[in-house]
């Protein structure tokens, strides 16, 4: 997506690194929550909502990763402002975070989870399209879907 948008190579590299590290804060989430088969309670959701901040805290002292921190912090923000941790909306969410949100969601949907079966690629793309404009940046969803649909 970053290449399609014409972002400079340094920002593409930042997004690539952030994509590998975005969930490092999940080390602070108990395994019982990560592997739970049913819905999470409000109490169980709390450490999940904090994991982006914990990830930033873990990585903030590594000078070579400082540019990754906004993407890691904001990869669960929603385009409509209803995400976490900051409730940012639209273009207030760094583009790196908006890109990561889509890639992360697609990966999560197409991977098996304890609480649900994995979706097919087409089912996941349909869900991304359904959530475009609310959870995800609609322009970026369109780009992502075109990339995935054109990949054999």
Domain ranges of the chain: 9-149
Query: Residue 89 — left, alpha, or beta (φ > 0 → left; ψ -120 to 50 → alpha)?
Result: beta
- Residue 152's pLDDT band (cuts 50, 70, 90): confident
Position 116 scores a pLDDT of 85
pLDDT at 114 > cutoff 90: no
For the chain, the average pLDDT equals 96
* Topology, domain 9-149: Hypothetical protein af1432 (1.10.3210)
Position 113 scores a pLDDT of 87
Mean pLDDT of 123-143: 99
Q: How far, in Å, are 39, 91, 93 from residue 83 at the CA level?
A: 18, 14, 10
**Pair of tokens at residue 54:** 């914990």
Mean pLDDT of 44-68: 97
Mean pLDDT of 23-36: 96
pTM value is 0.94
pLDDT at 103 > cutoff 90: yes
Position 87 scores a pLDDT of 97
- Token pair 């450490």 in the structure block, residue: 47
Mean pLDDT of 84-99: 98
């Amino acid at each position: 997506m970053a290449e399609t948008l014409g972002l400079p190579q340094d920002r593409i590299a930042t997004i690539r690194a952030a994509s590998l590290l975005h969930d490092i804060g999940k080390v602070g989430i108990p395994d019982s929550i990560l592997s739970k088969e049913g819905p999470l309670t409000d109490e169980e959701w709390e450490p999940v909502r904090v994991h982006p901040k914990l990830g930033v805290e873990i990585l903030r002292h590594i000078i070579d990763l400082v540019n990754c921190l906004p993407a890691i912090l904001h990869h669960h923000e929603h385009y409509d402002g209803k995400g976490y941790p900051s409730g940012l909306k639209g273009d207030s969410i760094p583009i790196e975070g908006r890109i990561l949100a889509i890639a992360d969601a697609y990966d999560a949907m197409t991977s098996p989870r304890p609480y649900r079966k994995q979706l097919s690629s087409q089912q996941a793309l349909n869900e991304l399209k359904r959530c475009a404009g609310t959870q995800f940046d609609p322009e970026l969803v369109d780009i992502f879907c075109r990339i995935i649909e054109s990949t054999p």
